A = this chain, B = another copy of it.
Amino acid sequence: MAERESVGIVLLGLGVVGSGVARALAEHAETYADRVGARIELRKVLVRDATRERDFAPDRSLITTDAAEALGTDCDIVVEVMGGEDPAREYIQKSLSRGRWVVTANKELMAKYGPELRAQATAGGVDILFEASVGGGMPIVSPLRRDLSANQITSVRAIINGTTNYILTQMTREGAAFDDALRQAQDLGYAEADPASDVEGFDSAYKISILSSLAFHGHVRVEDVYREGITDLMPRDFRYAAELGYSIKLLAIGQRDADGVCVRVHPALVPKDQLLANVDGVLNAVQVEGDLIGRVLFQGAGAGSMPTTSAIMADVLEASRSIVHGSRPSPWRYTADMAMKPISQLTTRYYIRVEVSDRPGVLAEIARACGDNGVSIASVIQKETDDEAQTAEIVIMTHAAKEADLQRSISQIEGLKDDVRKVGALLRVED
């Protein structure tokens, strides 16, 4: 095969991440050429607004607002960093159909259409790489695809949303209320003006759908991910959790057992001596458990222009090496139909905070509601009492119980109208 002089790149998007990629390509050009064996050449950049100021802008002649021009440019790799479903999906499909490799940071797209895009890439003898879609620069997609591939993975437990982890860390350290911690995160640029995607757990749900699909070799659809956000957490839940020896984290979990695969995103109590309990601030971390390896942990900056650029460029260099050396990518093989296990079949321990009337007999009623449904109580602590309002608050830790039984207990407790003001918090405990 003739030596190749260059590998051509078309970049779709020039926001925070796109600018980082353009800058890395310019500033590391020599190193990358050395590592790949050919120059990596930026040939066109698609932007929405050609007049906007950029962190780093490549040569004006490379910039276009015309998608057809960008997609029609002769190149080997298309790097998609626009985000969102449309028109990113269409652009990627077109690129794959023209025999281009695709590198994308698009979690929403990979969560929803990963299997079909990967199948299209395989059919065309190319690949779609998406390390940057989860965990910023922290390697996790490639380790699951390659380094841990000899394992039967049993679980993936992840803190993969830096915004919410920052908010929870502030609520833990400073006893801040959710709204105040959110405002702080917004002031620091960690949270968007509309924070729903982060704080309601959508972002984590996309990412755990991607990681679980890789870990379990099947497609975990976003609709099959159980999801709860962090907006209802109260400062006192953090205080009580700490007293009991736990941190509260927004966990994204994929678990496989004999009954199937259960994938979920929700705040959880994590024992303080576990690694994940101590991953603070905007850091991300993923803990993978497999039959051979036991437990392995990856930790790093989960977002930001430079870390995300690190992940995108790793994929670009990998694709470039394959292109230069004429390697065909190995197709990804999904195993046969995978049984999904709904959260109602989950078995775990629970933390329940109930606001009650401060009078005798209440606890007995609540205990009965649990017992009637097969939920066994491990400990009960009476917390604050408000003499004026004649209310008290009790915190219950259960033994391992089935989610469906637990939910029935909660309904019954909520039905104790005279005695129970409300169930203030229901959190799963991840041991």
Binding site for B on A (CB under 8 A): 20, 24, 28, 31-32, 34-35, 37, 131, 137-139, 142-143, 146-152, 217, 275, 278, 290-301, 304, 306-307, 309-314, 316-318, 321-322, 324-331, 333, 335
Residues of B within 8 A of A321 (CB): 330
CB-contact partner of A299 in B147, B275, B322, under 8 A: B275
Closest to A141 in B: B147
**Would you call A292 and B24 a contact (CB within 8 A)?**
yes
CA–CA, A304 and B292, complex, Å: 10
26 pairs, CB–CB < 8 Å, chain A vs chain B? A34-B333, A37-B331, A131-B147, A138-B293, A139-B148, A143-B143, A148-B310, A149-B318, A150-B309, A150-B313, A150-B316, A150-B317, A151-B310, A275-B299, A278-B278, A291-B306, A292-B309, A292-B313, A293-B307, A296-B301, A297-B297, A297-B298, A322-B330, A327-B327, A327-B328, A327-B330
**Would you call B307 and A292 a contact (CB within 8 A)?**
yes
Most B C-beta atoms less than 10 A away, residue of A20, A24, A297, A316: A297
Other A-B pairs, 13, CB within 8 Å; known A292-B307, A296-B300, A297-B300: A20-B292, A138-B293, A138-B296, A139-B148, A142-B147, A146-B314, A149-B318, A150-B312, A150-B317, A151-B310, A292-B310, A295-B301, A325-B330
Residues of B within 8 A of A316 (CB): 150
The smallest beta-carbon distance between A245 and chain B, in angstroms, is 17
Most B C-beta atoms less than 10 A away, residue of A147, A290, A324, A333: A147
Most B C-beta atoms less than 10 A away, residue of A28, A293, A306: A293
CA–CA, A293 and B307, complex, Å: 4
**Would you call B34 and A335 a contact (CB within 8 A)?**
yes
* Integer count of this chain's copies in the complex: 2
The smallest beta-carbon distance between A333 and chain B, in angstroms, is 6
Q: Interface SS of chain A: helix, strand, loop or mixed?
A: mixed
Residues of B within 8 A of A146 (CB): 142, 314, 317-318
Residues of B within 8 A of A148 (CB): 139, 310, 314
The smallest beta-carbon distance between A190 and chain B, in angstroms, is 15
CB-contact partner of A310 in B150, B217, B298, B331, under 8 A: B150
Residues of B within 8 A of A139 (CB): 139, 143, 147-148, 296
**Would you call B310 and A293 a contact (CB within 8 A)?**
yes
